[in-house]
Structure 1
Amino acid sequence: MAVSRVTLPGPAGTTLGSEDYSLYSGLTEDELIELAIERSLADANRSSAQAMANKTPAAQSLTSQASKQHCPPCQQKVAPPAKPPSSNVEGATRSSFVTRNGQRMVAWRRYDGTLVLPQPEEEVNPVIKAITTGDVRTLKQLAKSDPDSLTKPSKEGWLALHEAAYYGQTECLDVLLKVQPGMINKRTLREQTPLLLAVARDKLSSVRYLLEKGADPDIANKDRETPLFKACERENVEIVELLLQFGSGVNKSCIQGWTALHEAVCRNNLQICQILVDAGAKVSVPNMYGITPLFVAAQSGRVEALRFLIRHGADVNSQAGDGATALYEACKNGHEEVVKVLLSQNADANIAAKGGLLPLHIAAQRGNDRIVSMLIPVTSKARVRRSGISPLHLAAERNKDDVLETLIEAGFDVNFMLSNDRSKMYEDRRSTALYFAVCNNNTDATAMLLEAGANPNLDIFNPLLIALRQGCIKTVTMLVDHGANINAYIPMHPTSFPATIMFCMKYLTMLKYLLDNGCDALSCFQCDYGNKPHPPIKTTRSRREDLRYTSDTPHNTKVQFCEMISTPAVCRWAGPIIDVLLDYVGNVQLCARLIEHLDSYEDWAVIKEKSVPPRPLLQLCRMKIHGLLGIKRLKLLDTLPLPGRLIKYLKHEERTTELT
């Protein structure tokens, strides 16, 4: 089996061979290459650190001073960093290694630590070598002996002039332009000019030289980024001033409409902002999405830049392409200080984005209580109503309880219903903030809304049904105590019995609670077929995992209790369910299907006997009293002036032996 040989850079030029097989045999070729790269980069960093450590303080000081002075490149013994491929970001670190086939490879590590795919190492072009080392003498000799080599492009379209500008070798630039002065504005395949490359690398002396030699300061790259744009991106004040002195267009925009002022504002560089404005930069020019520099400042939380733009006449109420204002965007991103500044400058809090949401809506959705408090006094409740959605809905949907409490205290209508268009966005056609809170199983928000007067019976699909499906007895109790319809139905899925019973068949304690509070148990025993044979049942499952039931009868026929309890998910509890229901009805007749269920398990025989009329007199009397009292007074049994034993009897809490 062949063993890969990878030369690892290091003090001794480490090579992995057969002697290291036991240690590296588990690594693939790619893993070995990556190991070599890691070792090379680590050694390079370690060597650099060691060299600095070996210098005396005096020597370090001299080195620092020398680096600030301009000295001829040919006298500098340390070569500048190698240029990475055009497909990678600037600032990448180079590493070389040798594969098992003896091929020399080069790899690059980006600034974020990721590796670029290794490539074969190209032979060093003598012109490029002379430029990178600042060897002006050799470059002059090459210019005389082989002038064509100066104009031969690389595979990325780079000429020798681009290389000299990239590395900031001003004297090399002078040599090259004397040979071919017409190359000064030549572009690479990415349409980069020598001037743009020098600006992007902060090479001030080269930038000045190129401009003085007639370089066009407005030629942009493939993304339409001008040298001025790049200088603002680099936050290089001297180069910005220099470019403007040579007539650079201050309002030129990149491919997305972003200007130099946009870039300076994004970086909160007030010095550059001032220079640009003094040079004629427009403070309210929009990009292709309608975003102005003011919008950028608000979006990114640049308070100083925001104040600067306002002082220079920027419109605080300008809107982006989607209708959003700077205030809206600041609220969206939680920039409290920006919101404060904008409001102090009379920013309109009642301008809605195209989606219809106001700044208050988005602040409530994001849960910033302090921003919500600032917006409430300046937001029109009439404008909120016209939007078709309340900030209460958004706070409840995102479980922003602090914001919800603030909005309730500010008097926002807890019973405000979504507009029809917004309600249609939800499959269940929800309408109230209470529904959102119950759906999220947020008992604190549910309690806040109910105590503030929320009506639990406004939604098409009653929130009580949601709470029952979730099995949350705390929410169910709160809803029932505040008047939720104990006999709620589902309009789009009609049943002959309350849907509340359907949703709590697996929770017998919850079922008993509903029945104690007046849920209609008698409807469960009213079957259209009685003792006759029942048609077969077909079941399908909806997207929301709720069962829908159909039979051979017409589609408009309501689903009956005996059909619901016969589904595979519920039939195993048929006996106990029927047993509980029988405690809340008088004389009833079980249909053939219910009897079939009770006959399927011998322990359920006593339940079948319990259903045979006549029912005990005590049970009949209790049902009669329940009917006379009604649902509302049944909930208030504990407050009625009745003996304790009678109250227990009416609530099914008595023991039969004590009353007989």
Structure 2
Amino acid sequence: MAASSVTMSSSRVPTLGFEDYSLYSSLSEDELIEMAIERSLAEAHAAASEAGSAKAPALQVRQNPVHQNPSVQRTIPPREQNVPPPANPPSEKPYEKMGTIEAHFVTGSGRRMVRWRKHDGSLQVSPEPVEQADPLFTAIWEGNVKMVRDLVNCSSKSITEPYRDGWIALHEAAYYGQEECLRILLRARPEMINTRSEKNQTPLFLAVSRNHVACARFLLENGADPDMPNSSKETPLLKACERENPETLALLLNHGALVNKTCGEGWTCLHEAVCRNHVEICEMLVKAGAKVNVSNMYGINPLFSAAQSGQVDTLRFLIKSGADINSQANDGATALYEASKNGHEEIVELLLSQNADANRAAKSGFMPLHITAQRGNEGKRLLFKMTDTYDYENSVKIVALLIPVTSRARVRRSGISPLHLAAERNKDDVLEVLIDAGYDVNAMLSPDRSKMYEDHRSTALYFAVINNNIEATTMLLEAGANPNLDTFSPLLVALRQGCIQTVALLVDHGANVNACVPTHPTSFPGTVMFCMKYLSMLKYLMDNGCDALSCFKCNYGSNPHPPIKTTRSRRNLDDTSEEATPKTPVQFCEMISTDLISRWAGPIVDVLLDYVGNVQLCAKLIEHLDSYEDWAAIKEKSVPPRPLMQLCRRRICCLVGRKRLRRLDTLPLPGRLIKYLKYEERYQQIDF
């Protein structure tokens, strides 16, 4: 059956509109689609009849390959490696601008159709248009040498006329490896051997990129320029290294290809070969004069590339060839630094065995030990981010290799300890190795680095606490970390997070239970602010010596309180200077009167009353206790005089002291007295 052609006008596009669905609402969607296909085929046949013997239009309906005329229409082979597509797109596809494609399908007669939906929701079915291929290019794709020869000898169309993206017939022959076609084309027009496409690709470049050695040899023997680059300034020699083809490489080198020519980013052929760990190609390049210490635009030389990508074989070759093992990139990173960062243990071991300097810092101030503690294996971790079984063993081994060769004085001068970085990234295994190696767990960030954080954190312990990493917190505290060195106490962070386990760890190791918030001064311990909703945590702080008495000190006493400012002005929020900090400390009665906490006022006051003697409640606290009838007992509890038993308990606690109260169970006191001091109700009535 001959190929039929149709003209796709908007008046003949088969449509299933609202009326169709109304008349055939009982039909299924598949039946409706089938109906639309039949209508489209009928209209296509009518259009072909009207066309008669007129000139074939540009858009044609694809026929079944078995029945179509091979001289008129061909299937164009696809290209690879970002080479332009084989055929120009059809000049008109109504569904691309007017709707959304839903499916492509082939009818029983072999016609290719496309089902699409208009923006108004109506269903459309149209023939899928294709473009007629040029006979010369069709013959090249199929390797039909006779047809190519005939077309070159008698065709009125010039064989040098660009086809798509500036490709001429010679480009096509080189790309598809048609050596005989190359011979015919060059014999007819030898001057087009170095013709460039729109992307500056020569036939030689395309032949090399496709590993067509015979075509590349023929082109070179007939005068092809081996150093003519494409738009990215990539030469055929660089492409041969990328394809890892020593035969093509040798061919290009024998024809005088420049071995040190760089691409747009300064990348050389040796860089490319090193990244692919191809030692044979590296040897060929170096023998041909490749420079082993040449750097690209980022200051990266081939040895750096080998270390970065973990290529041990090419790294050994470069070291033997005299590469500078301690060269630094533009950012100051060395090969050892980059290998450490990416978790290449074997590379690190090899570099250290060749006396690589472990104390050369990058512009960030980080040395290889720093970057391993922070980011070791990070590149590999991306491969395992969807699993829970990732092994960080490489980072630990690299840290162990770097510790003996890293200067502690250089680490101190850097202003940051590897402990900070390991704690920040939750590298518990690395943290343990560093602690065992004797790194100072109380090392402080330098002022410049501390200012990089809004809370001005300083210690590794702070990083562990803010990450809620209990294991790291435990290791640091047991190694002697001081929980009171940071401007903002780690205990306040743990209280804000509501983690009683971390709070207990910090308090047991001497954290100040009366710590304040530097930017928000209060007349009572800042720790109380963060646990007003957690009564058990509040009681725990009080049991460990938190100052409850200060919560009942009020400047206004029984007098009326002024209105409470619950928000700060925008100017104060933006201004973090000392002048913006409120000069008058916030009182407990003001804090407890905020909307979020006032509902808990009664129970909070009730807990605090157990840890004070005779106190006088201010007018604001009495107002809160009067607001809810069930809190009347709490108000009554506060009226002096307090029970003698309570006053005795407070006196004993004062004599014991705040520090020893934290270790109450270890004190040489009678068991009944210890239970009495712990406020256990069944021992409230104790006979002394």
TM-score range, shorter chain: 0.7 to 0.9
Between the aligned partners of 2:172 and 2:627, the Cα distance in structure 1 is 90
Is 2:187 aligned against 1:160?
no
Q: Equivalences for 1:16-31 in 2 at 5 Å?
A: 22=30, 25=33
Between the aligned partners of 1:144 and 1:556, the Cα distance in structure 2 is 97
Q: Equivalences for 1:449-598 in 2 at 5 Å?
A: 449-540=476-567, 555-598=582-625
Match of 2:208 in 1: 199
Q: Note closer, same or farther for the CA distance 1:125–1:541 as it changes in structure 2 (3 Å cut).
A: farther
Q: Is the 8 A contact 1:127 1:149 kept in 2?
A: no
Match of 1:369 in 2: 396
Q: Note closer, same or farther for the CA distance 1:80–1:342 as it changes in structure 2 (3 Å cut).
A: farther
Q: Is the 8 A contact 1:184 1:215 kept in 2?
A: yes
Between the aligned partners of 1:185 and 1:208, the Cα distance in structure 2 is 14
Match of 1:379 in 2: 406
Q: Is the 8 A contact 1:468 1:503 kept in 2?
A: yes
1:82 to 46, 53, 77: 77
Q: Note closer, same or farther for the CA distance 1:576–1:570 as it changes in structure 2 (3 Å cut).
A: same
Tell me how far 1:119 sits from its aligned partner: 9.2
Tell me how far 1:151 sits from its aligned partner: 1.1
Q: Residue type of the partner of 1:377?
A: P
Mean Cα deviation higher: 163-172 or 264-273: 163-172
1:354 to 357, 363, 378: 363
Tell me how far 1:613 sits from its aligned partner: 1.0
Match of 2:428 in 1: 401
Is 2:615 aligned against 1:606?
no
2:684 to 649, 656, 660: 656
Between the aligned partners of 1:658 and 1:452, the Cα distance in structure 2 is 41
Match of 1:323 in 2: 332
Q: Note closer, same or farther for the CA distance 1:480–1:554 as it changes in structure 2 (3 Å cut).
A: closer
Q: Is the 8 A contact 2:521 2:582 kept in 1?
A: no
Between the aligned partners of 1:91 and 1:441, the Cα distance in structure 2 is 58
Match of 1:9 in 2: none
Q: Note closer, same or farther for the CA distance 1:3–1:236 as it changes in structure 2 (3 Å cut).
A: farther
Q: Residue type of the partner of 2:301?
A: T
Mean Cα deviation higher: 188-197 or 171-180: 171-180
Deviations 1:223-282 (A, max 9, x none): 110000001111111000000000001011111111111111111111111111110001
Tell me how far 1:435 sits from its aligned partner: 0.6
Secondary structure of 1:356's match?
A: coil
Between the aligned partners of 1:292 and 1:319, the Cα distance in structure 2 is 9
Q: Is the 8 A contact 1:80 1:167 kept in 2?
A: no
Between the aligned partners of 1:130 and 1:638, the Cα distance in structure 2 is 96
Between the aligned partners of 2:135 and 2:170, the Cα distance in structure 1 is 14
Q: Residue type of the partner of 1:169?
A: Q
Between the aligned partners of 2:647 and 2:630, the Cα distance in structure 1 is 25
Q: Is the 8 A contact 1:582 1:611 kept in 2?
A: yes
Between the aligned partners of 1:497 and 1:97, the Cα distance in structure 2 is 74
Q: Residue type of the partner of 2:77?
A: A
Is 2:228 aligned against 1:233?
no
Match of 1:175 in 2: 184
Q: Is the 8 A contact 1:415 1:455 kept in 2?
A: yes
Match of 1:270 in 2: 279
Deviations 1:544-581 (A, max 9, x none): xx9x9xxxx99311111111111122111110100010
Tell me how far 1:506 sits from its aligned partner: 1.2
Q: Is the 8 A contact 1:283 1:313 kept in 2?
A: yes
Between the aligned partners of 2:679 and 2:569, the Cα distance in structure 1 is 37
Q: Note closer, same or farther for the CA distance 1:214–1:20 as it changes in structure 2 (3 Å cut).
A: farther
Is 2:470 aligned against 1:443?
yes
Q: Is the 8 A contact 2:84 2:164 kept in 1?
A: no
Q: Residue type of the partner of 1:242?
A: L
Secondary structure of 1:350's match?
A: coil
Is 2:617 aligned against 1:617?
no
Match of 1:311 in 2: 320
Tell me how far 1:594 sits from its aligned partner: 0.7
Match of 2:70 in 1: none
Between the aligned partners of 2:354 and 2:432, the Cα distance in structure 1 is 28
Between the aligned partners of 2:660 and 2:153, the Cα distance in structure 1 is 110
Match of 1:639 in 2: 666
Tell me how far 1:658 sits from its aligned partner: 3.8
Secondary structure of 2:657's match?
A: helix
Q: Residue type of the partner of 1:512?
A: K
Structure 2 unmatched ranges of 5 or more: 1-12, 17-26, 38-63, 67-73, 90-102, 115-126, 377-394
Q: Note closer, same or farther for the CA distance 1:649–1:542 as it changes in structure 2 (3 Å cut).
A: farther
Q: Note closer, same or farther for the CA distance 1:270–1:158 as it changes in structure 2 (3 Å cut).
A: same
Tell me how far 1:176 sits from its aligned partner: 1.3
Q: Is the 8 A contact 1:217 1:226 kept in 2?
A: yes
Secondary structure of 2:566's match?
A: strand
Is 2:300 aligned against 1:291?
yes
Secondary structure of 2:208's match?
A: helix
Tell me how far 1:23 sits from its aligned partner: 7.0
Between the aligned partners of 1:321 and 1:217, the Cα distance in structure 2 is 31
Match of 2:121 in 1: none
Between the aligned partners of 1:612 and 1:21, the Cα distance in structure 2 is 82
Tell me how far 1:469 sits from its aligned partner: 1.3
Deviations 1:79-111 (A, max 9, x none): 99814389558999x9x97889x99799xxxxx
Q: Residue type of the partner of 1:589?
A: Q
Q: Note closer, same or farther for the CA distance 1:178–1:97 as it changes in structure 2 (3 Å cut).
A: farther
Q: Residue type of the partner of 1:355?
A: S
Between the aligned partners of 1:501 and 1:179, the Cα distance in structure 2 is 93
Is 2:386 aligned against 1:391?
no
Between the aligned partners of 2:490 and 2:284, the Cα distance in structure 1 is 60
Q: Note closer, same or farther for the CA distance 1:99–1:157 as it changes in structure 2 (3 Å cut).
A: farther
Between the aligned partners of 2:402 and 2:232, the Cα distance in structure 1 is 40
Mean Cα deviation higher: 159-168 or 534-543: 534-543
Between the aligned partners of 2:84 and 2:314, the Cα distance in structure 1 is 28
Match of 1:219 in 2: 228
Q: Is the 8 A contact 1:235 1:269 kept in 2?
A: yes
Tell me how far 1:220 sits from its aligned partner: 0.4
Matched residues, percent identical?
Answer: 66
Is 2:428 aligned against 1:420?
no
Between the aligned partners of 2:322 and 2:241, the Cα distance in structure 1 is 22
Tell me how far 1:316 sits from its aligned partner: 1.0
Q: Note closer, same or farther for the CA distance 1:606–1:456 as it changes in structure 2 (3 Å cut).
A: same
Match of 2:140 in 1: 131
Structure 1 unmatched ranges of 5 or more: 5-18, 30-42, 48-78, 107-117
Q: Residue type of the partner of 1:84?
A: R
Between the aligned partners of 2:677 and 2:569, the Cα distance in structure 1 is 40
Tell me how far 1:402 sits from its aligned partner: 0.9
Between the aligned partners of 1:373 and 1:188, the Cα distance in structure 2 is 55
Secondary structure of 1:537's match?
A: coil
Q: Note closer, same or farther for the CA distance 1:317–1:147 as it changes in structure 2 (3 Å cut).
A: farther
Q: Is the 8 A contact 1:80 1:132 kept in 2?
A: no
Deviations 1:486-522 (A, max 9, x none): 1001111101100111111111111111111111000
